[in-house]
Structure 1
């Protein structure tokens, strides 16, 4: 028992000499002077993904095409694409050097895309 009390006394004296403190979970710490220096800004948000509205050709009548809810003729612009062809089954839209053929009707699919001079 005596060795045990000597060991405890020795540990306490060493901790006193080293200025060690025991952790007390119930001890209230003082608030920092400047909390803004501890706060980090939120991470940058990712750029919003642009929504792409598909070009839908619903009908063709009298050399005009009903595209995205409006009637267009050859030479008109639809979403920065020029209407170059209007046929019974498809409409051709030119964007720069790229020509896209879109089918008319319920299947509403792109028939093909090619580069033109």
Structure 2
């Protein structure tokens, strides 16, 4: 017989902690995105008068694409670290594992959508 870890999903407290963690990470990425868009719209009104994109400055584009993506990536990796720690102590690790994968999927979706600012001029 093998000593496989039982994959329990019924731990309500762990689910709430993992969901709160993922919500905070996604919220932080969204706040950075909104602040960047507002900063670019207010600060670059003169230089971007004839541009199609709202964020037309090069630093604004890089911040808009890579900072929220980095926040989501680090959040996903942090959730995987929490899953590993829970697994080592015999806790409910699949919930944290799922939170990590969800954050990485959101990272890829955001990166795919936000990378379009480099194609518009």
Looking at secondary structure, tell me which structure has more strand per residue.
1
Structure with the bigger RCO (C-alpha within 8 Å, sep 6+) is 2
Specify the TM-score bucket, using the shorter chain as the normaliser: under 0.3
| TM-score scaled by length of structure 2 | 0.20
Q: TM-score, normalised by structure 1?
A: 0.21
Instruction: Point out the structure with the larger helix share.
Output: 2
Structure with larger Rg? 1
